[in-house]
Amino acid sequence: MSALLDIAQAQREGRTIVAVDISEMRVSADPAQVLVTYSLGSCVGVTVFDPEAGVGGLIHCMLPLSRIDPRKAAARPAMFVDTGLPALLQAVYDLGANQRRLLVKAAGGGSPLGPDEIFKIGQRNLEVLGKVLWKNGLELRAQSVGGAQARTLALDLQTGRTIVRTDGKESEL
């Protein structure tokens, strides 16, 4: 395993790996935590981190718009980009993050079924992500999006590093 995201090493160091499942989000100010989400295909994963406050979060959104199922969106806002991302932002602000210092990075938004996939969920997730960020005065600092490969996304709350693993290769966003 690469030195960028060596989960076993992090655990040996007493760090806590916190898995973020599909349609979930996690926020923390605990530098001992590493937030990780797996299998980002058409789903979009977003990390936010305030380096001064040491506060960050990770969300794994499955669908772009909550209007397709408002009841489900009320119960699980992280399922949708348009409800989940504002909830993530509010949660990190509540922990002391500041909008001006927030580093936003994303992965996923692909087309795992190929470029002819009819619903274009990944592309639509990215479009809504851009709109929500714009409405909140934020921009993506880095991204690993599109294509057909699945991704793993991790946020190390000790260092603020965002790592993406694609096809067995890792890189820092």
Instruction: Report, as residue numbers or ranges, the catalytic residues.
Output: 43
Tokens of 139: 């921009």
CA–CA dist 140, 105 (Å, integer): 5
Considering only the C-alpha atoms of the chain, give the largest distance between any 2 of them, rounded to a whole number of Å.
45
Q: How many CB atoms lie within 10 A of CB 155?
A: 29
Angstrom distance (rounded) from CA 144 to CA 169: 12
List the structure tokens of 107: 């992965």
Contact partners, residue 24, CB within 8 Å, separation at least 6: 59, 60, 78
For the chain, give percent helix, strand, coil, nearest 5. 30, 35, 35
